[in-house]
Each structure stands twice: as C-alpha cells, then as structure tokens.
Amino acid sequence: MHLGSEYLGDGTCKFALWAPLVKHVAVHIISPKDRIVPLTRDKWGYWYVKLIGLEPGSLYCYQINKEVEIPDPASNYQPYGVHGASQVIDHNDFQWSDMQWQGIPLEKMVIYELHIGTFTSEGTFDAVIPRIQELSSLGINTIEIMPVAQFPGERNWGYDGVYPYGVQNSYGGVNGLKRLVNSCHQQGIAVILDVVYNHLGPEGNYLWGLGGYFTNKYRTPWGSAINYDDAYSYGVRKYFTQNVIYWLQEYHIDALRLDAIHAIYDCGVRHILQEISEIVAEFSQRDNRKRYLIAESDLNDPKILLRSSGFSGYGIHAQWSDDFHHSLHSLLTGEKQGYYEDFGSLENLATAYTDTFVFAGNYSTYRKRYHGSETIGCESSQFVIYAQNHDQVGNRMMGDRFSHLLPFPALKLAAAATILSPYIPMLFMGEEYGETAPFLYFTSHSDARVVEAVCQGRQEEFEAFHTQGEIPNPQAIETMIKSQLNWEQRHQDKQGILWLFYQKLIKLRSQIPALASLDKHKLGVKVIHPQKALRLKRSYGMNQVIYWMNFNQQNITVKEILPNGYWKKLLDSADTQWGGDGSAVNHILIGNIQQELVLGPYSIILYESQEKMAS
C-alpha cells in the first residue's frame, strides 16, 4: 500500500492512510473543487480511495472520525507549513538528466556536511547549486544535507521534522531538492540525506492521534518511542521503510544518514535497521546502482555494521565514529568537561587510528560503566570521522567552531589529522576556510508551549556555563542569521591559505596509493613523549608514507631512523606557503640514518618513499 497521495496520471490520484484505531476516515479535497470522499478500510487498518478529476497541486486533508481534520502524515509537500493542507505531487513531471550517474563508492567519499538554511544567505536548495563547482574544486565528491523533512516555521536544524515524506517548503520544496541532486550528479557529486527515524518533532506531529505509531514501552529524550516492536508495529515499520525507498527512488539520493540510531528501540526478532538494510540492498540491485546507509550511534557496537554468514548484525554500510572526534578535540583544546572527560591523551588518538573505537569494552569514567566492543570484522571504509560536525559545534552554548578555539597552525593540524586518516573524512561547512560565524541552535516554532519548553531547556542545559555569556535565543531570527556562512571569506588572507591547505590534503589523499587505501591494518602509529607528537606510517604495496604530527605549542625535535631508501617531503604545514614561519626539515631524507626533525608548533610533515633519489 503506497502511503499518502499518489498521482497516477490522467487526473487520477490514489490516497492511503494507515490508521488502524480510528472508526472513519474521509479525504477532504479543498481545492480546486471542495468535496469530501470516504475512504475504505482493509483488515490491516489501511484506508484508501482512488479519485478521478484531480490534478497535481490539489490541496487536501484527512477527516478523522467525522470530527477533526488533519494534514496527511505521509504528505509529499506542505506548502502552508505543518498545520496547513497537504498538496498532491506528480513525481514524474521532473526531467532528470543524471541517468548515466553511477555514484561514488563509499571508500572514495570525501563528505561535506551542510545545512541548507545557513549555507547561503538565501537558505534554499537552488542557492546551493552555484557553489557545487567550488566544492568540487576543493576535492569534495559528496555532500551530506542535514534533514529537510518539513518542520515548523522556516528556521530549524531539521531534527524537529514532522513530515518524513515532505520536503521543507522554505528551502524550495520538492523540485528544489530534485534540482540540487540533479545538479550535484551532473558535476560528479554524490548526495547523502540526513533522515530521522528515532522521533518526530513536538509541533505538527499528527501521527499521535492515529494510534499505533508510538509506544510507552521505551522512553527517548523526546518522549515516547516510535513503535517498532509493540502491537500494531507492522504499519509503523511500513511507514518508515517506505520512506527509505521514497528518498532513493523519487529524489535519486545516494545514501541516507540515519540519525541517532541508539534511540531506535526494537526488541523484535528482525530489527528495523536490519529490515531497512535489506530493502536498500534489494533496491540497489533492482536499480543497478549502489545505495548506502550511514548510521549515527554512540554505542560503539560493530553489530550495526556486520551482516554476513560469520556475523549477526544489521548490515548498515557505515557509521559515524565520535571517538576520533573526541580524542582530537580534547587533545587540541584541553577541554575535559562532559564526555571529553574520557579523552585528551595522545594514546587516545593513536587508538582511534589503529582500533577505531577508543572504548571497545573498557571502562568509561564519564559513563561510569564499561562501554563498547572491538571492531573485529569491520573495514576502515565503514567509519566516517570528522574534526567538526553540526552536533559538536552546534551543541556548544555559543556554537563555537575550531576557528574560535584554536590558533591557525592547529586548524591545519586538525585538517591533516582527519583527511590523512584511513577512514572516510567528513568536513562541516565552512571548516575548510576557518569560518568565523558560529553555528548556533535555532528554531521557529509557533506553539507558545513548545517555544517556552525549548528556551527553558537550553537555559537548564547550560546553567553551569553562564559566565560565558547569555545563551542565544533559539527563536530569534538573528540567531539563525549569525549562523550563516560568510562565503566571501574563503579566499581571503589566512582563510584562503587554509582553503588551499585542505585542497592539498584531499589531493594527496586521492593521489598517493598509501593514503588512498583505507586499511587501518596497514597503519602503524607511534606515540612520541615528551615531545607530544604522533608518527604514522601507512603503506600500500611498495608505496609508503610517514608523517609526524606535533600537538605541542612549541617547536619540537624528534629523532628517527627511517626505513631504507629515499624519502621525499610532500607536505610541511610550517612552510611559508601554508602561512607558517618556514620549515626546518630537509626536502629529502635518507633511510637507515638517524635524522633529527624539527617540527613547528601544531605542525605536520609528510614524506613518501621514493625508488630513487628525487631530483
């Protein structure tokens, strides 16, 4: 049963709603000609009807039990917001030109996370399109769009969405998103869409009144959990599994990022994530193009990824790895509050490189329990890492980026630590040039009770940080405007140098075999004390690279005997080319001879093995 309105062509439209606990459902066609038509119920609680004389653009809602009218919970488009009428959409009227597009393999992705509303001053899908070429020239081949499912008002991160099938009207709606995806594919850029299957937002959520969609068996940070395993869960599971295919099929999305799956509760025999994984595999095979699922999880549980004859698990293709971020952030900033309590040492970062999870069954002081499991059986290409992302920046009281917290040399070091890893790197919009605007938390709810609860919640969350200043009002339009990128900064002064440095790192990652191969088993890491440095060695066949990262605020000297042969310097962030004071290391190093390398503050130097002396 295709949920929502489905335009079949020739003025014919089918409507379907799953509401097993209501007694009567009718569709109220509001325009172009007002009429009310009852729906028929099947034994599974699906209500349906097929109408003629109805064209795309028609407005409608559902009449429940002859008492209340609600928008379609599976609406494709809400032109008048979360409380307004739904609109019939013809998905076949868009002219796609990406039929030759074959996607980007997961292991080749360089991801750029962006928020539609603040990436440009216009805050629309169409406004992103002129910037795609710039991202491509940087080396980005994949963008990840924060949620676009219809949310209340015009300003939101997207995690308060209440129409999983609806595209945000203030961003440009259905065809706006399609134009963006189409343009990305034409220019060699894959598109990941962030989707939320662990909760719906507090305003405009009309699923509550239909019964069956939520359960009190479990509690989430947002209230009752979505019902994936209780009575009537069959219809809920269909509602969300259809949504997965909807984005892949109707919008040509290349991958879905599944928000906070640790808040998805399912104790049934076949976990909803396993079911989603299986239907995506089936769809990919039918469509002859690989699609991917990337999970966000704080469980450090390899079961999310593993699914084969030798392992039981969900078979999700990849997941975010917060342990790398926490290790790097705490090491560079010295912060130890909250979950950073467990991090801050070079050994943590070394473990994040070699083992992926820092906590893999060991004791967490912050959690006051043992946490995580080893990633045995998982590939390096199944983990996405980052120095910054929307959560780690936006959930700070003042939305501070690394550009607010770190000196310029440390920004380059953070970039190298991420991009030269054996994992999939992700950048957060503006990171590549040291954006000076914060990324703050913002909303535009219309329900006064929700507004009060959101503002009070932010006050309570940051009560201990009142000395840092006044918490920005999430409802104020100024809070969102402050978060918009200053795109013109990207080629100015040191910010322009930083942009070029990111470009160089991404190019090295793609061109040097030892860096292009994502295999943490071909990685060696040495912690260097007391200098506070890491030495990393990576290899692929005969190709080898060695690089040193200095996390000290001062110059350091390290003594090394390199493997036999000649070693050519490919990168030194202390070079004047990269805004440094000048390099103190030789362009060529010879193996089997002790070398004394002087590294500048917060710097990285990278050498590649050579078959013969380079000229």
Q: How far is the C-alpha of 358 from the C-alpha of 343, rounded, in Å?
A: 9
Tell me whether residue 324 is annotated as binding.
yes
Cα–Cα distance list, 599 to 377, 401, 406, 412 (Å): 37, 25, 18, 14
Q: What is the DSSP letter of 162?
A: S
Q: How far is the C-alpha of 225 from the C-alpha of 129, rounded, in Å?
A: 37
Residue keyed to tokens 């966000």: 296
Tell me whether residue 404 is annotated as binding.
no
Tell me whether residue 392 is annotated as binding.
yes
Tell me whether residue 261 is annotated as binding.
yes
Q: How far is the C-alpha of 203 from the C-alpha of 594, rounded, in Å?
A: 66
- H or E stretch including 611? none
Tell me whether residue 447 is annotated as binding.
no
Tell me whether residue 301 is annotated as binding.
no
Three-state DSSP at 234 gives helix
Write out the DSSP string of 422-487: SSEEEEETTGGGT--S----------HHHHHHHHHHHHHHTGGGGGG-PPP-TTSHHHHHHTS--G
Indicate which residue of 160, 203, 230, 259 is catalytic: 259
Q: Quote the distance between the C-alpha of residue 370 and its chain's center.
A: 27
Token pair of 103 as six digits: 């996607």
Tell me whether residue 72 is annotated as binding.
no
296 catalytic residue (yes or no): yes
The residue among 117, 13, 106 whose CA lies nearest residue 55 is 13
CB atoms near residue 412 (< 10 Å): 27
Name the packing angle between helices 322-333 and 408-419 (round to 10°). 160
Tell me whether residue 391 is annotated as binding.
yes
Tell me whether residue 416 is annotated as binding.
no
Tell me whether residue 328 is annotated as binding.
no
Indicate which residue of 6, 203, 250, 296 is catalytic: 296
Tell me whether residue 257 is annotated as binding.
yes
Tell me whether residue 259 is annotated as binding.
yes
Q: CB-based burial of residue 373 (10 Å sphere; 0-12 exposed, 13-18 middle, 19+ buried)? A: middle
Residue keyed to tokens 């335009």: 7
Tell me whether residue 262 is annotated as binding.
yes
Q: What is the DSSP letter of 311?
A: B
Residue keyed to tokens 């710039």: 134
Token pair of 112 as six digits: 């750029």
Which amino acids are annotated as binding site for substrate, given as ranges?
257-262, 322-326, 390-395
Which amino acids are annotated as binding site, given as ranges?
257-262, 322-326, 390-395
Catalytic positions, written as ranges: 259, 296
